[in-house]
A and B are shown apart, each in its own frame.
Chain A
């Protein structure tokens, strides 16, 4: 009995089953080990969590229309920004591209039948779901108000909200990430098709590999950190309590040791997607393939050396702060290298402006702005002024939303025909991309200004002189919200009623485009043999990978 998807009308050219039609029924989906089905399971789940985090954001922006607060008490507002942060960071952005596009594409791009450990892959999804359910329970039972950063002693001693549940939810979801990263690293090392050398891999795979390194080495630390905080809370023993010789900054060090690399977990996959989109829609080899590949690895390493820049104003040693500041400037370099290379790829390319390309171009501009504003924060003296203000909020939203979410949207659109065998209406898609771009900038640019002028973050009320900027930001948020709803509608519509997509609707290079759309369960009838570089568009021959 088919309960999940309606009968899919088979495209006329399909005579054999694809991964969507190979089996019907709830069990075939909930017990699947096919990486493509798992990717779709993740897509549905993270979209739901995105909506949960989005609702919190909507309420926050409504609240901030009035200086005295429009709809909620400060105690509730504290819960809103906490839930927004926890959900968006741990349950949306961290898994978003890796668990959906990564899961779907990595085996296809390397010419394999599946990931190295398909059952572990399914376990990853179930761990994610378990963590999500625990968090949803915590939210519905009253929420958590510590901020997504869970600093003690408030989290361990003074908060009366569901800190333990939220902490455990993140702990469980963390293991989902760890197993996914493990799976990806082994897959990329051991399952590449004959002839697929490292430097013939699409750049998306380099990004996913670097991301997986961060998953493996960073996530366990946040796990033990939250565990210790929960122990302090449950047993009333002082691990981070100064009264018993503990150090609250120890928690912050351990927390940010993961959470800074985590932001690179959130952006690296997006960079990988953008590398694919830029080259596909310029019909041109990517400029500086090696530079982009190595810069991904450099980001994975450097990201672990800068966490103290979140602690410049906490009383951290000024000498250590100096070192972290210098390193934080350094970590901007590999990202800048990518931006230069993407731009150079565009130069003299045959550019077309389908929706995925619009998202990619938006990414380059908005990510650059977000990255540049990070330098103000890396500099010690300016950070003293800007820390704790909306400047920070704007900075990371430019990267997370203007960067990562736009890359996610671009990637979903680009590979949607491959995943579903359907084409979405590009006109609506371009319109939505423009609405998102406009709404995004209207929401977050005023936040740079108000932050610089002194408006603190995490405040439910504010001095009246900031009202104009706040209202602008809230207006922008409503436009942004509309922009996100439109793709939801036409993408779901296209899944059932869209015209059939051929194997390669965008004329792009890559092994995934050589399979039918949607692909068969085993991806390839015969494991392909790779003899060419990654982006062998006509034109100047590349230097590497040939």
Chain B
């Protein structure tokens, strides 16, 4: 009887210390990078770069320090699900906040977006 629940899902693995040290070094470099880039004027891309670097750092911690690269099964699914649910919350809430003013009344917050489109929409 194959008992997949009895520990064969993720066999014990040993991550070499060199991997940890390389990850640590990469994280420090990326930290220095993101700090340095903040002092360069990239306009709106400052935020993009900062978030991309943060995302890479997160993936390094998750994959190597938290061993997700070396295991299979539920932990990966749990993490992806949590991030997906967070994305749902952010997406729908932002959608409301940013489109609330898109009403076709003059002087409303986003009327600059909708009013020019109205003749086309109502044709």
Direct contact of A and B (CB under 8 A): yes
Interface residues of A, Cβ cutoff 8 Å to B? 189-192, 194-195, 213, 217, 221, 247, 249-250, 253-254, 257, 304-305, 307-308, 315-320, 323-324, 529
Name the one of B1, B88, B99 contacting A317, with C-beta atoms under 8 angstroms.
B99
In the complex, chain B residues whose CB is within 8 Å of the CB of A305: 88, 92
| Candidate in A257, A305, A317, A323 with the most chain B CB atoms within 10 angstroms | A317
Q: For the complex, is B69 an interface residue (Cβ under 8 Å from A)?
A: no
Distance between Cα atoms of A316 and B103 in the complex (Å): 11
Question: Nearest 6 A-B pairs (CB), nearest first?
Answer: A317-B100, A317-B99, A320-B96, A317-B96, A217-B85, A253-B93
Q: 16 more A-B contacts (CB under 8 A) besides A257-B89, A324-B92?
A: A189-B5, A190-B5, A191-B5, A217-B81, A217-B82, A249-B97, A250-B93, A253-B92, A254-B93, A308-B96, A316-B96, A317-B99, A317-B102, A318-B103, A319-B99, A529-B1
Given A317-B96, A319-B102, A221:B5 Cβ within 8 A: no
Name the one of A213, A247, A257, A318 contacting B97, with C-beta atoms under 8 angstroms.
A247
Q: Is the CB of A194 within 8 A of B1?
A: yes
Name the one of B1, B89, B92, B99 contacting A221, with C-beta atoms under 8 angstroms.
B89
Interface CB pairs A-B, < 8 A, 9 = A191-B5, A194-B1, A250-B97, A305-B92, A308-B92, A316-B100, A317-B95, A319-B99, A323-B92
Measured CB to CB, the nearest residue on chain B to A247 is B97
In the complex, chain A residues whose CB is within 8 Å of the CB of B81: 213, 217
Q: Is the CB of A195 within 8 A of B89?
A: no
Measured CB to CB, the nearest residue on chain A to B88 is A304
Chain B interface mostly: helix
| Candidate in B1, B89, B98, B99 with the most chain A CB atoms within 10 angstroms | B89
Interface string of B1-40 (1 = CB under 8 A from A): 1010100000000000000000000000000000000000
Distance between Cα atoms of A213 and B81 in the complex (Å): 10
Distance between Cα atoms of A112 and B5 in the complex (Å): 12
In the complex, chain A residues whose CB is within 8 Å of the CB of B96: 249, 253, 308, 316-317, 320
Q: Is the CB of B100 within 8 A of A194?
A: no
Measured CB to CB, the nearest residue on chain A to B74 is A189
Shortest CB–CB separation between residue B65 and chain A, in angstroms? 22
Measured CB to CB, the nearest residue on chain A to B81 is A217
| Candidate in A191, A217, A316 with the most chain B CB atoms within 10 angstroms | A217
| Candidate in B88, B92, B102 with the most chain A CB atoms within 10 angstroms | B92
Shortest CB–CB separation between residue B117 and chain A, in angstroms? 13
In the complex, chain B residues whose CB is within 8 Å of the CB of A304: 85, 88
Given A194-B1, A217-B82, A304-B85, A320:B92 Cβ within 8 A: yes
| Candidate in B81, B96, B97, B99 with the most chain A CB atoms within 10 angstroms | B96
In the complex, chain A residues whose CB is within 8 Å of the CB of B85: 217, 304
Given A221-B89, A317-B100, A317-B102, A195:B1 Cβ within 8 A: yes
Q: Is the CB of A319 within 8 A of B97?
A: no
In the complex, chain B residues whose CB is within 8 Å of the CB of A319: 95, 99, 102
Shortest CB–CB separation between residue B107 and chain A, in angstroms? 16
Shortest CB–CB separation between residue B111 and chain A, in angstroms? 14
In the complex, chain B residues whose CB is within 8 Å of the CB of A529: 1
Shortest CB–CB separation between residue B95 and chain A, in angstroms? 5
In the complex, chain A residues whose CB is within 8 Å of the CB of B88: 304-305
Shortest CB–CB separation between residue B82 and chain A, in angstroms? 7
Interface string of B45-59 (1 = CB under 8 A from A): 000000000000000
Distance between Cα atoms of A213 and B84 in the complex (Å): 13
In the complex, chain A residues whose CB is within 8 Å of the CB of B74: 189
Shortest CB–CB separation between residue A298 and chain B, in angstroms? 14
Distance between Cα atoms of A315 and B74 in the complex (Å): 40
Shortest CB–CB separation between residue A531 and chain B, in angstroms? 10
In the complex, chain B residues whose CB is within 8 Å of the CB of A213: 81
Distance between Cα atoms of A203 and B68 in the complex (Å): 31
Measured CB to CB, the nearest residue on chain A to B95 is A320
In the complex, chain B residues whose CB is within 8 Å of the CB of A249: 96-97
Shortest CB–CB separation between residue A91 and chain B, in angstroms? 25
Shortest CB–CB separation between residue A449 and chain B, in angstroms? 33
Distance between Cα atoms of A253 and B88 in the complex (Å): 12
Distance between Cα atoms of A305 and B85 in the complex (Å): 10
Distance between Cα atoms of A221 and B88 in the complex (Å): 13
The A-contacting residues of B in range 77-122, CB under 8 angstroms, are 81-82, 85, 88-89, 92-93, 95-100, 102-103
Shortest CB–CB separation between residue A109 and chain B, in angstroms? 15
Distance between Cα atoms of A257 and B82 in the complex (Å): 14
In the complex, chain B residues whose CB is within 8 Å of the CB of A308: 92, 96
Distance between Cα atoms of A250 and B89 in the complex (Å): 11
Shortest CB–CB separation between residue B119 and chain A, in angstroms? 19
In the complex, chain A residues whose CB is within 8 Å of the CB of B93: 250, 253-254, 257
Shortest CB–CB separation between residue A318 and chain B, in angstroms? 7
Shortest CB–CB separation between residue A112 and chain B, in angstroms? 10
In the complex, chain B residues whose CB is within 8 Å of the CB of A307: 92
In the complex, chain B residues whose CB is within 8 Å of the CB of A189: 5, 74
Name the one of A257, A315, A320 contacting B99, with C-beta atoms under 8 angstroms.
A320
In the complex, chain A residues whose CB is within 8 Å of the CB of B1: 194-195, 529
In the complex, chain B residues whose CB is within 8 Å of the CB of A315: 100
Measured CB to CB, the nearest residue on chain A to B73 is A189
Given A217-B85, A304-B85, A317-B100, A194:B92 Cβ within 8 A: no
